[in-house]
Structure 1
Amino acid sequence: MEEELNITYLVFDGHVEINKYRYLYFISFSIVYILIICSNSTIVYLIWKHQDLHEPMYIFIAALLLNAVFLSTNIYPKLLIDFLSEKQIISHQACIVQYSLFYALGSSEFLLLAAMAYDRYVSICKPLQYPTIMRKKTVIVFLTVAWLLPVCQQVGISILSSNQKLCSFTLKVVFCNNTIYKLFCVASKAISIYVVALIITVLFPLLFILFTYTRIFIISYQSSRNVRKKAAQTCLPHLLVLISFSCLCAFDIITVRLGSDFPKTVHFITILQVILCNPLLNPIVYGLKMKEISKHLKRLFCQARII
């Protein structure tokens, strides 16, 4: 009993008319979550099953889609529980875990996109060296770094955050993000420096991606029509995902920094874009725009109709 009394709870105050629309929210977001799981898992299954998709590019796509599933699973189950609860609360420690996983998986997305950009650069600009550069070992290293590095980075900031004294217990959001810093009694210089360092580590892969695709398009423009076609088919889906995810990250930063200046409804809609758009957009972009995946996807649906 004493342990229960020592637990610090935070209140989510970002919901709009939850008492009035709780069942509508629950049904709508349940459908969205199921769509995210099914659409992403279907493409991952196709990549795993078909031997012709066991190439670095498709393995990175599968990792990116799995990352979206993990990110959604970090948010949606708790969100669905809150829709049906009288009080939308979360323990301080659970909030730090959710917050840390959210940003760790977000950083992983940028690192995976950077790995995909490098893979496309080698494939288009150095095709003869591709088999020797993009070996199985190289892919494993990229995947390991993409998932472990952000987790290790978030461990440090989680420890710092858990030791901070809270003077407020209300979050004006629907899940734990950077707004948790606004609850601290005193702004921590150590956390501020750590956050700046984390932002810089995210900017490096972003700048690398922009540099890589610039080089790809310059070389493609100077090459034959077939090379330009290959670059367009394989690079444009990655760029669409990159632009989408970068915009959503910008939304997250803006809503955190200017949260008090946003009307509650606008804030609610904006913050939901982060967890709605990207996990749903990725399987659509790769399922429709990537020729080989689209081919297997059509076969799968045709078989389902026959059955």
Structure 2
Amino acid sequence: MSNTSNVVLLSLSGFSTTANYKITLFSLTLLCYCLIVVVNVSLILTIILDQNLHEPMYVFICNLCVNILYGTAGFYPKFIFDILSDIQIISYEGCLLQVFVIYTYATIDLSVLALMAYDRYVAICRPLQYHSVMSVRRIAVLIGLSWLVPLCCEVMVVTLTSTLKLCGSKIDKLYCENWSIVKLACSTMPANNIVGLIIIAFYCGHFLFILWSYVRLIRSALKSREGKRKFTQTCVPHLLCLLNVTSALLFDVMYSRYGSASVPQSVRNFMAIQIVMMPPILNPLIYGLILSKIRHRMVALCMMADERFKLRLKA
């Protein structure tokens, strides 16, 4: 591929260290993706099928799982195909699409976590007003905004990125991300940096709001035994998931912006895929194992399925 501004295909150079163990990596990646799909679909179906779980907190968890399926669909199929390929390339349009999907996945995740923090704040700090504040209509509006705003933000980012003329075609990563494309540009436009900084500041505000909510929650929970019980049962899983998501995002941002070529490629690859590997697996497992309502319902569904299977075998 020539070094021109009319780049049609981009190469993903992060696969340079995977040639010697393609089959192993392919098997592990396929297993990982299957696990992600199974645990998230199981959690979604459990929440949808059980009327007792049709509460704001569980609706938000269901949205997290749907977002995980959406985000990982933008990474794993292409990644699995590239592992077995001799040449790892992607079209410029496909690269922009992957940027859009993965970035919206990350920002929607943070938006829904902010909604969950707000929900827990109202439930514990303002319990008498909970049902009036978290009405069905308001929940629908908040969920709609948690998806619509990130989608609009990333439309702006991708649109501005698509106007850049590229003087290179080599992306030093396993998948496409915006900063990697910007680094290939012949020159950058101030609008790209300004919009990027505004969006980063906006989602940093989400993170600060979540921290503020949990500080208030902890203060309120320490005042009574009932508050401590509620906090332990419903807030600890959210905190674990928040830590999981933010650490993965931090890995990705630090690698993209400040990653050094002196760091081994395998280490850089591990840092790069954290955002599409750890939260999609760990978050639904955390909710499924720690939240008693979901855990008991999933166990009951598994037992029912096992009994039906045994009855069919006997028949």
Partner of 1:174: helix, strand, or coil? coil
CA separation in 1, counterparts of 2:123 and 2:270?
40
Q: CA deviation at 1:69?
A: 1.0
The match for 1:305 is 306
Question: Is 1:173 aligned with 2:173?
Answer: yes
Q: How does 1:126-141 map to 2 (within 5 A)?
A: 126-141=126-141
In structure 2, what is the Cα distance between the partners aligned to 1:131 and 1:261? 55
The C-alpha deviation readout for 1:17-43, integer Å capped at 9, x for no partner, is 333222222221111101000101101
Amino acid at match of 2:54: H
* Counterpart amino acid of residue 91 in structure 1: S
The structural deviation recorded for 1:159 is 1.3
Q: Distance in 1 between matches of 2:25 and 2:136?
A: 44
Counterpart for residue 36 of structure 1: 36
Name the counterpart of 2:191: 190
Match of 1:153 in 2: 153
What amino acid maps onto 2:89 in structure 1? I
Question: Match for residue 235 of structure 2?
Answer: 235
Q: Quote the residue 2:56 is aligned against.
A: 56
The secondary structure found in structure 2 opposite 1:187 is: coil
Q: Distance in 1 between matches of 2:101 and 2:17?
A: 28
Q: Which runs of 5+ in 1 are unaligned?
A: 1-5
Alignment pair present for 1:294 and 2:295: yes
Report 1:1-307 matches (<5 A).
Answer: 8-177=8-177, 178-222=179-223, 224-259=224-259, 260-306=261-307, 307=309
State the one-letter code of the partner of 2:265. K
Tell me if the contact between 1:14 and 1:173 (Cα under 8 Å) persists in the aligned partners.
yes
Displacement after TM superposition at 1:285 (Å): 0.3
The separation in 2 between residues aligned to 1:182 and 1:154, in whole angstroms, is 18
Deviates more, 1:294-303 or 1:16-25: 16-25
41-50 vs 8-17, which moves further? 8-17
Q: TM-score, normalised by structure 1?
A: 0.95
Structure 1: how far apart are the matches of 2:209 and 2:7? 43
- Kindly provide the CA deviation profile for residues 205-247 of structure 1, in whole angstroms up to 9, marking residues without a partner as x: 111110011101101111x212211111100100100011101
Moved more, 280-289 or 153-162: 153-162
Aligned to 1:3: none
Contact 2:237 / 2:286 at 8 angstroms: preserved in 1? Answer: yes
State the SS of the aligned residue for 2:87.
coil
Give the Cα separation in 2 of the matches to 1:189 and 1:298.
Answer: 54
Give the Cα separation in 2 of the matches to 1:171 and 1:110: 26
Change (3 A) 1:250 1:16: same
1:258 Cα offset (Å): 2.3
Alignment correspondent of 2:312 = none
- Quickly say closer, same or farther: Cα 1:99–1:299, change in 2 above 3 A: same
Partners of 1:226 and 1:127 in 2: CA distance: 12
Q: CA deviation at 1:190?
A: 1.1
Unaligned segments of structure 2, at least 5 residues: 1-5, 310-315
Cα displacement string for residues 235-281 of structure 1 (whole angstroms, at most 9, x for unaligned residues): 01001000111011110011112233422111011112221111000
Q: What's the CA shift for 1:16?
A: 4.4
Following superposition, the deviation at residue 83 of structure 1 comes to: 1.2
**Is the 1:255–1:262 Cα contact (8 Å) retained in structure 2?**
no
Percent of matched pairs sharing the same residue: 34
Q: Note the alpha carbon deviations across 1:54-98, whole angstroms, 9 max, x for none.
A: 000000000011111111111001101111222100011111111
Is the CA contact 2:8–2:91 (under 8 Å) kept in the aligned structure 1? yes
Give the partner amino acid of 2:271. Answer: T
